[in-house]
């Protein structure tokens, strides 16, 4: 027996999808800025696995020599992304959605079971809830990363006016480093998120567009 | 919510549910596609607007909006942190516009123009109270250096030799030339609060030694409330004006304010 179930409220869907172009715009303009002093790498001591980023990367995406342009976009889109994030957090609290999203005591065990299952190390199906433990950690974590981007961003945008914040984050250079690596975190989040959405299937994806999921329950016994 | 949605809970048969989700899917994806197209069109429009000093004009308006927000929210008197003099390093040599030929340092004068017309000898500037600070020089490119500076406050200079003005323009000597004979001049504009900030100095020493030509001898500006691209070297002209002065990098797409 099929049934339509309400899953994602309309404001959550809008704010979720708005993040896509806004975050993309921030990362793209951020790369235009980062190019001007691309000092980070993946490595240890004198050994460098990967310089961030190789020249071919900038060339391929046409990111070089566009610092001023990058800043003008970055300092425009920042308003929209920050407002969207603040609206989202406010909405989840006011609506009570946070109860589904915040990890709780059983989320740890739950998340571990999900990871084992998804890596094909365990055959135990994760519990069917709106968000499983792994999702709770991921979606709460990405909101915290958003707060981190906002704070580290502000601290490098206004390092004299917000010197206390810049100092708290380890100084100007460290705050920039943190801002960069949080962004890399979004990229990692993005790839895991997309692959999990593909695994979860159409019904789940459609729910983030329409708000409704089709659930199938066993036919009640006739008798 | 329309009347169809009210029926969702009571949808009885599988086919009714299928029909309903198809309708919802069609509707939501249409709304999504139209929104995405509208958004893309908006970005396309924005990116193709005529430039205002190197950026599409709507983005220039937003930079100016950000400037007003900064001035509303933040204190123009807030001091940047200072560091031990021992942590000072030699900053990168960056920016050669206006410095392409060596300066003739003897008998240097600063020409005050605009609301007054005065020639101020360097010796008179150096006679003002001297201040030292070890602060972080931040480049808009994303790097920073801790540097020790010695000089006089621009505020003292302006109150002694100038008259109050809404804006202060600073420039390298107007007759600067590149080695090949092309005009070579660098210029910046300052808003009054930033110019009067106690950590906005006209410097003649860096890290305990007289400024080198590359770092702006004989007199350069350093401000802890601005990025390095506002910290002009080799100052030859100070303009007192009620209009926002031209700024070399602001004409090339950067924020005119450039404030921290």
Which residue ranges form the domains of chain A, and what is each CATH number? Answer: 2-216 (1.20.950.20)
Q: Could you read off the pLDDT of B217-228 as tens digits, one per residue?
A: 999 999 999 999
**3-class state of residue A43 by DSSP:** strand
Interface test with A, best of B2, B17, B22 (most A CBs within 10 A): B17
Q: Could you read off the pLDDT of A139-173 as tens digits, one per residue?
A: 999 999 999 999 999 999 999 999 999 999 999 99
Q: φ, ψ for residue B98 (rounded to 5)?
A: 85, -5
Q: Measured between CB atoms, which of B27, B62, B80 is closest to A75?
A: B62
Q: What is the DSSP track for A74-123? A: HHHHHHHHHHHHHHHHHHHHHHSTHHHHS--TTHHHHHHHHHHHHTTS--
ipTM: 0.91
Q: How far is B118 from chain A (nearest CA, A)?
A: 34
- Does the structure show a pLDDT above 70 at A196? yes
Would you state the structure tokens that stand for residue A216, as one six-digit string?
């199938």
Residues of A in contact with B27 (CB under 8 A): 210
- Does the structure show a pLDDT above 70 at A219? no
Query: What pLDDT is stored for residue A124 in this prediction?
Result: 81
Chain B touched by A67 (CB under 8 Å): yes
pTM above 0.95, yes or no: no
Please state, in angstroms and rounded to a whole number, the distance separating the CA atoms of residues A137 and A128.
16
**How far is the CA of B217 from the CAs of B91, B214, B238, B258, in angstroms?**
15, 7, 16, 23
Chain B touched by A4 (CB under 8 Å): yes
Q: Could you read off the pLDDT of B171-202 as tens digits, one per residue?
A: 999 999 999 999 999 999 999 999 999 999 99
Do B255 and A72 lie within an 8 Å CB cutoff?
yes
Q: Could you read off the pLDDT of A13-58 as tens digits, one per residue?
A: 999 999 999 999 999 999 999 999 999 999 999 999 999 999 999 9
Query: What pLDDT is stored for residue A108 in this prediction?
Result: 86
Do B144 and A3 lie within an 8 Å CB cutoff?
no
Q: Measured between CB atoms, which of A6, A67, A214 is closest to B17?
A: A214
Do A212 and B70 lie within an 8 Å CB cutoff?
no
Would you state the structure tokens that stand for residue A106, as one six-digit string?
């059983």
Residues of A in contact with B21 (CB under 8 A): 4, 206, 210, 212, 214
Compute CA A105 distance to the chain's CA centroid, rounded to the nearest angstrom. 23
Q: How many CB atoms lie within 10 A of CB B37?
A: 10
A2, closest residue in chain B (CA to CA): B14
Taking only Cα atoms into account, the Rg of chain A, rounded to an integer number of angstroms, comes to: 21
Would you state the structure tokens that stand for residue B49, as one six-digit string?
């607007």
Please state, in angstroms and rounded to a whole number, the distance separating the CA atoms of residues B140 and B228.
7
Q: Measured between CB atoms, which of A67, A76, A160 is closest to B141?
A: A67
Q: How many interchain CB pairs under 8 A, A with B? A: 105
Query: What pLDDT is stored for residue B3 in this prediction?
Result: 46
Closest CA to B260 of A168, A23, A157: A157
A216, closest residue in chain B (CA to CA): B14
Please state, in angstroms and rounded to a whole number, the distance separating the CA atoms of residues B178 and B174.
12
Return the axis-axis angle of helices B57-73 and A67-95, rounded to nearest 10°.
Answer: 60
- Does the structure show a pLDDT above 70 at A177? yes
Do A206 and B260 lie within an 8 Å CB cutoff?
no
Average pLDDT, integer, range A100-126: 86
Do A4 and B17 lie within an 8 Å CB cutoff?
yes
Closest CA to B80 of B256, B241, B222: B222
Cα angle for residues A140, A141, A142 (degrees, 5° grid): 95
Query: What pLDDT is stored for residue B2 in this prediction?
Result: 47
Divide the 260 residues of chain B into consecutive groups of 10 and give the mean pLDDT of each group: 49 84 96 97 96 96 96 90 96 93 94 98 98 96 96 98 98 94 96 96 98 96 96 98 97 94
How many helices (H) does chain B have, and how many strands (E)? 6, 12
A158, closest residue in chain B (CA to CA): B260
């Amino acid at each position: 027996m099929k049934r339509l179930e309400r899953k994602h409220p309309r404001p959550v869907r809008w704010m979720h999808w708005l993040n896509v172009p806004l975050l993309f715009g921030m990362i793209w303009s951020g790369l235009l800025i980062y190019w001007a002093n691309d000092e980070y790498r993946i490595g240890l001591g004198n050994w460098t696995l990967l310089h961030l980023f190789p020249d071919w990367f900038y060339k391929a995406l046409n990111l070089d020599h566009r610092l001023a342009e990058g800043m003008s976009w970055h300092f425009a889109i920042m308003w929209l992304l920050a407002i969207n994030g603040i609206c989202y957090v406010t909405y989840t609290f006011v609506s009570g959605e946070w109860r589904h999203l915040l990890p709780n005591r059983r989320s740890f065990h739950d998340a571990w079971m999900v990871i084992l299952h998804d890596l094909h190390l365990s055959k135990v199906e994760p519990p069917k809830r709106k968000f499983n433990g792994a999702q709770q950690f991921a979606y709460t974590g990405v909101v915290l990363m958003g707060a981190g981007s906002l704070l580290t961003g502000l601290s490098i945008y206004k390092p004299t006016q917000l010197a206390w914040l810049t100092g708290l984050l380890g100084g100007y250079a460290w705050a920039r480093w943190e801002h960069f690596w949080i962004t890399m975190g979004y990229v990692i989040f993005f790839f895991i998120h997309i692959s999990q959405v593909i695994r979860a299937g159409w019904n789940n994806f459609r729910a983030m567009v329409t708000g409704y999921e089709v659930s199938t329950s066993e036919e009640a016994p006739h008798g | 919510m329309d009347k169809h949605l009210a029926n969702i809970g009571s949808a009885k048969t599988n086919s009714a549910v299928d029909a309903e989700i198809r309708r919802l899917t069609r509707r939501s994806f249409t709304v999504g596609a139209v929104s995405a197209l509208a958004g893309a069109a908006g970005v396309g429009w924005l990116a193709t607007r005529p430039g205002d000093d190197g950026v599409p004009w709507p983005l220039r308006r937003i930079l100016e909006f950000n400037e007003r927000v900064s001035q509303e929210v933040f204190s123009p008197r807030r001091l940047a942190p200072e560091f031990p003099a021992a942590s000072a390093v030699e900053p990168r040599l960056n920016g050669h516009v206006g410095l392409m030929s060596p300066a003739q340092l003897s008998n240097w004068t600063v020409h005050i123009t605009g609301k007054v017309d005065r020639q101020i000898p360097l010796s008179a500037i150096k006679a003002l109270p001297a201040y030292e600070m070890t602060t972080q020089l931040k480049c808009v490119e994303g790097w920073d250096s801790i540097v020790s500076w010695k000089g006089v406050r621009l505020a003292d200079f302006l109150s002694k030799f100038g008259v109050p003005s809404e804006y202060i323009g600073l420039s390298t000597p107007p007759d600067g030339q590149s080695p090949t004979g092309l005009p070579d001049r660098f210029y910046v504009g300052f808003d009054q609060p930033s110019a009067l900030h106690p950590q906005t100095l006209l410097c003649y020493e860096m890290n305990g030694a007289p400024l080198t030509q590359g770092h702006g001898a004989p007199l350069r500006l350093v401000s802890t409330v601005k990025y390095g691209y506002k910290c002009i070297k080799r100052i030859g002209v100070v303009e007192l004006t009620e209009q926002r002065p031209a700024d070399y990098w602001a004409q090339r797409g950067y924020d005119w304010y450039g404030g921290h």
